[in-house]
Structure 1
Amino acid sequence: MAHTPVNHPARPIYRAIGGLTGLYLVLFGLLGLVGSTGEPAFGLSDNRVLGQGTNLGFSIFCLLAGGLVLFGTVIGRNLDVLINQWTAYVIMVVSLGGLAFIRTGANIFNMSVASVVVLMFLSLVLLMAGMYGKVGSDDEHEAWQKARLVL
């Protein structure tokens, strides 16, 4: 895409921000795993970790999503850009689904309003990290600059 920055000067910072987001998801998933041991995987309870509602299923989801983001951050080579963007989209869908079903029996991830807000924030941070972390050749950078200046 011509409007996505290539070789942005702050790309190492965005890559680190993506990695920290993945680290938070892994930490939340691990704490949720410990806190929801012995409960049903998709059960509704008053279990809270870091102020957010959770259960075993949601903890495993966060653990997997965070692990995937950390994997992409370690590998780099624009794989982190792809992983950050698609993981952000998946987390957005999950958080919007959680918001839609928050006070029903279909709330399989035992989400609270705090969970929805934090997940939406994390997905936007991941999307930002994915948009500004792209690395390319000098020709691609020049093409991006020309496309940017045309607008």
Structure 2
Amino acid sequence: MAHTPVNHPARPIYRAIGGLVGLYFVVFGVLGLIASAGSDIFAQDDTKVLGQGTNLGFALLSIVIGIAVLAGTAIGRNLDVAINQFLAYALLVLGLAELAFLRTDANIFNFTILTDIVVLTLSLVLLMVGMYSKVGTDEEKEAWQKARLVL
């Protein structure tokens, strides 16, 4: 993909932003786990954490997503790029599906509109982080620069 920046000068900042997104998911998941302890895994009640609706299932999913993002950020070597992009697309699909089922019984993760906005926003942030934190050789960077100048 010649249109994806390689060795972007702000790459460390983007990786830090990705780490903060992962940390947010872990903190939200742990707080959601505490708040929804004792209820069903896909309970549809008024459990809220940080103003967002959640249940045990979404709390566990948030912890897994956060740990995956943090692990990818710690390892680096373009593994973080793959993890961030995959999870960004998965979160976009989840957010749009939950938006469609927001006021129905199919709202298995107990989303509210605020939860949906946060998930969709964080998915776009992860996508941005994944696209700007790619590391490559000098030849790949030069190929990207030449392709960018052609456009």
TM over 0.5: yes
Matches within 5 A, 1:1-151: 1-151=1-151
User: 1:59: how far off?
Assistant: 0.4
Percent identical among aligned pairs is 65
Provide the secondary structure at the position in 1 that maps to 2:130. Answer: helix
User: 1:101: how far off?
Assistant: 0.4
State the TM-score, normalized to the length of structure 2: 0.99
Q: How far apart are the structure 2 equivalents of 1:98 and 1:48? A: 16
User: 1:4: how far off?
Assistant: 0.2
Gap runs ≥5 in structure 2: none
Indicate the RMSD between aligned Cα atoms, in angstroms: 0.4
Q: How far apart are the structure 2 equivalents of 1:79 and 1:119? A: 22
Look up the equivalent residue of 2:63 and give its one-letter code: L
Q: How far apart are the structure 2 equivalents of 1:71 and 1:96? A: 26
User: 1:55: how far off?
Assistant: 0.1
* Dislocated runs of 4+, deviation >3 Å: none
Q: How far apart are the structure 2 equivalents of 1:89 and 1:79? A: 16
1:30-81 Cα offsets, whole Å, 9 max, x none, are: 0000000000000100000000000000001111001100000000000000
User: 1:82: how far off?
Assistant: 0.4
1:92-147 Cα offsets, whole Å, 9 max, x none, are: 11111110100000100000000000000000000000000000000000000000
Gap runs ≥5 in structure 1: none
State the TM-score, normalized to the length of structure 1: 0.99
